[in-house]
Structures are given as structure tokens and as C-alpha cells.
Structure 1
Amino acid sequence: MRAALISSAPASVSSTAPVALYPLAVERTYATELAAAVTRGAVVIDIRTHAQRALQGTLPGALAIDTDLVAERLDPTRPGRLAVAVDHHVEWILVSAEGSDSHRTVTDLHQRGLRGVTHLVGGYAAIRAAGMVEAVTEARHIAEDVARVTAH
């Protein structure tokens, strides 16, 4: 299940030294939810660098897209969009190495109007720890691509 942490304004916690809490408006997906998300049609985007993927391992079935190109590829109004980027409500799950890079990228994409984007909490490390690395290969878009390739 996708979860969102939302706060309308920064708040302070009462103690001897106030700690400012800043609003989080980023929806998140957990590694244990990945298979269900893929089954319902979510598209997983691996935003790790080539070097990170070489070191940590690949995520079969995920689309590897450089962070600098994510907005252009996922935005249905951009000429360089992916074919599956049909509207602003496509469910995308961004995966970074540890989760922090994808969190920042999702914030930017939400500001651009892409409301169906979440980030995977804990990133690729969480997927490996949960034993879910192969879960993405069941994605509908992967099955369609395999069918197209094998039909030729």
C-alpha cells in the first residue's frame, strides 16, 4: 500500500531545544509492496547510476533512466516521453541506491504535476534485503515487450 506523509506547515516539538519538522508530501512504496504494485501496473524506474548498478546489481524489469532525464521521460507532455507515459496519473516507482535520491526526485516530479510517482523506501538495498529483486520481471509492460520481440 502506498503511504504518504503530509504536513501543511513546519511544526516544532516542545523540549529544551525546538526541532523543526518540515513537511513531507512524498508518497512512498515499501519493498514488500513491490510485487503487488507491479501486478496492478506500476512501472519501476531505476535511477541509480551505471556505476551503482554495476556495483550493487541490476533490477531486472525496471527501466534504467538517469536522474537528469526522469522528468522528460515520465512527463506525458514532453516529446522525449516513454510510450507508457500516457498521462499524469501513471503509477511510477522510483528506485535509488538507498532511497534518498529517489525521494528528492519524486518531490520534483510532484511539483511538475506527476501525481502517480512514489519512491521506494530504502531503495535497491531494501529490495535486496526483502528478496524482491525478481519481482519487477512480472510487470505488464515487460510481458508486452517480450511478446512483441518473440513475435518477430
Structure 2
Amino acid sequence: MAVSAGPAPASRDPQQPVGIDALLERVRAGYERIEPQEAHEAARAGDALLVDIRYAALRERDGLIPGALVVERNELEWRLDPQGSHRLPEATSHALRIVVICNEGYASSLAAQSLHQLGLHRATDLVGGFQAWRGAGLPVA
């Protein structure tokens, strides 16, 4: 089941710095996050593209989600922009449902928001990241 981040926070003074917790809250209010089991089912049904943005050391240590596309975080926007000259073959449309997966579900929220800015409005991220996926007993290679 998708998790809604709740209502958008009240407007703030643009001159005041925003802490990371407030930024995450604001970003997550813009879309529904997805739980591991729902992401697994959507990927198996061909309704979502799982994208693992964890760095190599974490993938080597903890393993990979079978079928997930590995895209380093610093290449994400270039690889998934359907209009981009460096896009991957899987980046077929702005209507593509992308589930971004980091280690614990924090960096992936910021990455999903960045994809929204590129027009990938169905992009979301995995609540709890790879660790929640593994903790739910879902497949890991």
C-alpha cells in the first residue's frame, strides 16, 4: 500500500535555511511513497521500474534486487530523462512509473523529487529503502 506523506507543510520564509528533515517532509508531501511489497508486486507485473541508486560498496555488501536497474545517484537524471541524449533504453516515457531505491529511504526521496522536476511525475521512492526490502523477506541476489 502506498504511504502518503501527509499535507504540505505551511509556507516558509525563502530567506530562512531549511534543515534536511523539513526538506524531506516537504519533498515527500509531493508524491505517494511505496512500501516494499507493493513495489515488488508492481515490478513483477511490469507496472514499475525499480532503480537502485546505492553506491557500489553497499550493493557488494548487501546484494541486489533481482531485476532492478542499477543507476548511480550522480547519473540518475541523465539516464532516466526520456528526452536526454544519455538516457537508458528503459527510459521510454515521462509516464514511466519509477521506484527509486537507496539504502534506507532518504536519498531516494530527494532523487524522486528531482525526477519529478524532469517531468517523471509517477516517480516515487521505497519507504525504508533496500534495508526495508530485505527486511520484508523480498528477493535479494
TM-score (norm 2): 0.80
Mark the CA change 1:112 to 1:100 in structure 2 (over 3 Å): closer, same or farther.
same
Secondary structure of residue in 2 paired with 1:133: coil
Residues 1:30 and 2:35 are matched in the alignment: yes
Alignment partner for residue 114 of structure 1, among 107, 120, 141? 120
| Higher Rg of the two aligned structures | 1
Q: Output one character per residue of 1:9-42: Cα deviation in whole Å (capped at 9) or x when no partner.
A: 427xxxxxxxx79532133110121222111421
Secondary structure of residue in 2 paired with 1:104: helix
Cα distance in 1 between the residues matched to 2:48 and 2:133: 16
* Corresponding position of 1:7: 7
| Regions of 4+ moved over 6 Å | none
* Corresponding position of 2:130: 124
Cα shift at 1:6: 5.3
Correspondence list, 1:47-62, <5 A: 47-62=53-68
Structure 1 residues not aligned, in runs of 5+: 12-19, 138-152
Q: Output one character per residue of 1:126-147: Cα deviation in whole Å (capped at 9) or x when no partner.
A: 001111125xx9xxxxxxxxxx
State the AA in 2 paired with 1:124. Answer: F
Structure 2 residues not aligned, in runs of 5+: 12-21
Cα shift at 1:8: 4.3
Cα distance in 2 between the residues matched to 1:41 and 1:8: 27
Aligned sequence identity (%): 34
User: How many equivalent residue pairs?
Assistant: 128
Residues 1:95 and 2:101 are matched in the alignment: yes
State the AA in 2 paired with 1:70. Answer: L
CA contact (8 A) 1:88 1:115 kept: yes
* Corresponding position of 1:73: 79
Mark the CA change 1:8 to 1:130 in structure 2 (over 3 Å): closer, same or farther.
closer
Cα shift at 1:2: 3.3
Cα shift at 1:73: 1.0
Secondary structure of residue in 2 paired with 1:99: coil
Cα distance in 1 between the residues matched to 2:38 and 2:96: 17
Mark the CA change 1:54 to 1:5 in structure 2 (over 3 Å): closer, same or farther.
same
